[in-house]
Chain A
Amino acid sequence: MKGILAIYRRELGSYFVSPIAYIVIGFFLALTGYFFADIVGRVIEYSFRMQMQSAQFGAPPSLDAPMLVIRNFAGFVTTILLFLVPMLTMGVYAEERKRGTMEMLMTSPITEFQIVMGKFLASLTLFVVMLSPTLIYHLIIGRYSEPALPWRIMWSGYLGILLLGAGLLALGSFISSLTENQIVAGVATFVIFLLLWILDFGVRGSSTAAGEIMKYISILQHYETFAQGVIDTSSIIFYLSVVTLGLFLTLRNLDSMRWRRA
């Protein structure tokens, strides 16, 4: 535990002394802020039109505006994560290998597991730090929303984002451990995330076995249920499996480097 904590503290500190964390967080908050305002504006406009229509034709207003806002916003956040997470994870192991500090870590009395866990928890903490200011948007809307904001959907949406982020961070860190060059790691991570995202585009609507598998692997698919306010065990297990897989592969890779290095 002490080993994990030591790695965790150094890692988290390193995020905040380099400009990368500030750039990524700033960019993330600027984009999400803009899109949140944009989504709210559109939904308000849409609901006005619906009200006018109902006044003219007497149809009952059946629009749940707050829920529309949350679902659109969550969908946007998950997409933008695919672009930003590679920037957070690209240097995690690649820089360590390039600087030669990996050699120090590997000859210190800490296990590879402690290194991997410390680094993962630090990146997850940074992720939470990046995500949490967006809650303010919902608090503001919550004050003025009519009908009241569906908090349950909001929290399940955020839980989904957290799980998705954890999975992406674990995978990105693994890719970073494969190379000494953090640019290569960043680009490779991005390409792989993109593939995981668009995997099911071609097979939507089809119900072949291959299509089902593609749909299952497609990393954003599992997010859908969270955005509907449903906390689906299978989706939680999917994301936790992705995290475990990423961490496990990193661990194996660190261990195997001992045997491969020249």
Chain B
Amino acid sequence: MIEVEHLVKSYGQARAVNDISFKVEKGEILGFLGPNGAGKTTTMRILTGYLPATGGTARIAGFDVFEQSMEVRKRIGYLPETPPLYPDMTVSDYLTFVARIKGVATADIPNRVAEAMRMATLTERKDELIKRLSRGFKQRVGIAQAIVHNPDVIILDEPTVGLDPNQIKEVRGLIKNLAGQHTIILSTHILPEVEMTCDRVVIINKGRIAAIDTTENLTMQLKGGERVRLQVKGSAESLRETLASIEGVINVEVNPGEDSLINADVESESGTDLRARIASRVVGGGFDLLEMRAVNLSLEDIFMQLTTEEKAGEKAEVIAEEKAEEVAEEKAEEVAEEKAASHSEISG
């Protein structure tokens, strides 16, 4: 239904979208996942014909989004990041207007408007002015606007942003209901949203695709790995050495806190349980072991790995000529910081 090949969008020197390719089958829900500024909105705007691409092609239902824009526009429903609403119109007047400009046959308009309001559970509010509606209802009007002409493809840019938890649940339910008859692309920077609603995920960072797979596969891939979280009292550096020397450990992350309290994450190969070994080495090394528990890697972790590894890689290239050992240490710290930063961004 949607074919995107080597899509590029440049603004002067900067590349907002850099060689993105993916396909979406009919009836599928594809999640677009990435930190803010990753290029999600730009990609969606290119698909809707709002922005021209600098390079590459995108086709929807076989029509080129730029060359045959009108054909594409008839077949898509689009909810931009801020719902495009006229505050002084009533819900039903607004949806009638949208149905008209989307080219719905005049005789079908009342039915289509009623149907869109029913799906977005807006029927009771149909005569209210949009400016009097709450944020959640406005978002629903935005979604109703995207489905009023019964399009093949629905593109939703951050449909749950700014909503409270109950509203988020409702909107997700609505999106799930739309699947099947419609092909849906939705963008988000909230990971559980993708896990809950999408069949497949495109993880996008700095304009590039970092990973593309089904939601299960991406989660499976990392469910394999084991992670143990420790809270320890002692010196951070020697703890790192101690933990890294344990056989089977892939990665160690040490975050020193106050009063020589240290939080550490230890990752190991899948199928191994290192808890006993870690406990004896930590205690044997003269540290006070305060807490230890096993953590399952979630999509969130995959996401952070994918998006931060790339950054680390770029930096490594730049400073490759400099003293390698020092750099490696610095880099490890930077990665830890960046992970913490992007973690707070995601949960916020």
With both beta carbons as reference points, the residue of chain B lying nearest to A108 in the complex is identified as: B101
B98 at the interface (CB under 8 A from A): yes
A121 at the interface (CB under 8 A from B): no
**Cβ contacts B81-114/A at 8 Å (1 or 0 each):** 0111111110001000110111100100000000
- Contact in complex: B86, A99 (CB < 8 Å): yes
A57 at the interface (CB under 8 A from B): no
From A6-14, A172-180, A228-236, the one touching the partner chain is: A6-14
Task: Determine which of B52, B70, B86, B100 lies in contact with A101 in the assembled complex, contact meaning CB atoms within 8 Å.
Answer: B86
- Contact in complex: B76, A107 (CB < 8 Å): yes
A109 CB → nearest B CB, Å: 4
B49 at the interface (CB under 8 A from A): yes
- Contact in complex: B100, A103 (CB < 8 Å): no
B256 at the interface (CB under 8 A from A): no
Task: Point out the residues of chain B lying under 8 angstroms from A103, CB to CB.
Answer: 50, 78, 80, 84
Task: Point out the residues of chain B lying under 8 angstroms from A108, CB to CB.
Answer: 73, 98, 101-102
Contact residues, A31-54 vs B (CB, 8 A): none
Task: Point out the residues of chain A lying under 8 angstroms from B51, CB to CB.
Answer: 258, 261
Task: Point out the residues of chain B lying under 8 angstroms from A13, CB to CB.
Answer: 89, 93
- Contact in complex: A17, B50 (CB < 8 Å): no
B145 at the interface (CB under 8 A from A): yes
Task: Point out the residues of chain A lying under 8 angstroms from B97, CB to CB.
Answer: 6, 9-10
A3 at the interface (CB under 8 A from B): yes
- Contact in complex: A14, B73 (CB < 8 Å): no
Task: Determine which of B73, B84, B86 lies in contact with A10 in the assembled complex, contact meaning CB atoms within 8 Å.
Answer: B86
- Contact in complex: A258, B76 (CB < 8 Å): no
CA distance A160 to B103 in the complex (A): 37
Contact residues, A98-126 vs B (CB, 8 A): 99-111
- Contact in complex: B84, A99 (CB < 8 Å): yes
- Contact in complex: A107, B73 (CB < 8 Å): yes
B48 at the interface (CB under 8 A from A): yes
Task: Point out the residues of chain A lying under 8 angstroms from B87, CB to CB.
Answer: 99
Task: Point out the residues of chain B lying under 8 angstroms from A110, CB to CB.
Answer: 101, 103
Task: Point out the residues of chain B lying under 8 angstroms from A17, CB to CB.
Answer: 88-89
A107 CB → nearest B CB, Å: 4
Task: Point out the residues of chain A lying under 8 angstroms from B74, CB to CB.
Answer: 109
| Known A-B contacts A104-B84, A109-B102; A258 and B52 likewise in contact (beta carbons under 8 Å) | yes
CA distance A111 to B74 in the complex (A): 12
CA distance A103 to B45 in the complex (A): 9
Contacts A103-B78, A107-B73, A107-B78 known; list 9 others, CB within 8 Å: A7-B101, A99-B85, A100-B82, A101-B86, A102-B84, A106-B50, A107-B48, A108-B101, A258-B51
Q: List 26 A-B contacts (CB under 8 A).
A: A3-B100, A5-B100, A6-B97, A9-B97, A10-B97, A99-B86, A101-B85, A104-B78, A104-B98, A104-B145, A106-B49, A106-B50, A107-B73, A107-B76, A107-B78, A108-B73, A108-B101, A108-B102, A109-B70, A109-B74, A109-B102, A111-B70, A258-B52, A259-B52, A261-B51, A262-B11
